Amino acid sequence: MRMDFFGDSYDIVKKFLIRSIAPNADWVVFPMFSHEVDDEKIKAFEQFLGVRVVSKTIITTTTNRVEHLAASAHHSHIFIDPDIGVKLEPTHGANSVKYIFGAELVTLCKGNPERLLLVYDQSVPRGGELKSIREKLAYFRTHNICGFAYVSHACFLILSASSFASKKAYDGLLDSNLPSSRLFTG
């Protein structure tokens, strides 16, 4: 997550989705910081979203990603905010810190079957959003993870090991009067 862009329209969408998917849930945010962020900016981000940041640790190419993500493991509903988004297969090198990987999301979902993950995903190509999202949702289905996507200029995946939790999240977005055409189930 890059704090240089804090307060942009994507952040407004993040706040809306958190409040609509599970309005009475105790959400936390796991920003995948790839640079140093001062405490004041983190506090402002928490106040804006209305959720607590669970890790201020910077992710680097040498970070043990399993240990890094463990900071969020005991929370029920987690908003994951990487710099770019979801990459199904792990990569190495400088760009790896900009993504959360498919297997990491599967592990988080299975760690608490009722958990909801809201995952920012700007890695979908313009004009190819549905194809990209379809591939990602198919990957998660093969790992017994339910989910859907909010598709717009900023895409988000909503994932859970529970079909009930996923359906309830989907219904929460419909109850917000968001057009169903923005929701994609694959």
125-144 confidence digits (pLDDT tens): 888 888 999 999 999 999 99
Model confidence at 5, pLDDT cuts 50, 70, 90, reads low
Identify the helix (H) or strand (E) that includes residue 66.
helix 65-69
Q: Can you tell me the mean pLDDT for 8-22?
A: 87
Instruction: Please give the pLDDT value at position 145.
Output: 98
Instruction: Return the CATH number at 157.
Output: 3.40.50
Neighbours of 38 (CB within 10 A): 10
Please, what's the largest Cα pairwise distance for the chain? 43
38-90 confidence digits (pLDDT tens): 888 889 888 988 889 988 888 888 888 888 888 777 888 999 999 899 999 99
pTM, 2 dp: 0.91
> Is the pLDDT score of 19 beyond 80?
yes
Instruction: Please give the pLDDT value at position 127.
Output: 83
Q: Which residue has the higher pLDDT, 57 or 156?
A: 156
Instruction: Please give the pLDDT value at position 119.
Output: 96
Structural domain that includes position 84: 3-184
Rounded to 5°, the CA angle 113-174-184 comes to 70
- Expressed in angstroms, the distance from the first to the final Cα of the chain is 26
Instruction: Please give the pLDDT value at position 32.
Output: 83
Rounded to 5°, the CA angle 85-90-96 comes to 60
In three-state secondary structure terms, 67 is: helix
**Domains: count for the chain:** 1
Cα–Cα distances in angstroms (integers) from residue 147 to residues 15, 55, 60, 101, in the given order: 19, 25, 29, 16
Tell me the pairing of strands 27-31 and 77-81.
Answer: parallel
User: What is the Cα–Cα distance from 148 to 171, expressed in whole angstroms?
Assistant: 11
Rounded to 5°, the CA angle 84-155-37 comes to 40
Instruction: Please give the pLDDT value at position 2.
Output: 54
User: Cα dihedral sign for 165, 66, 150, 5?
Assistant: positive
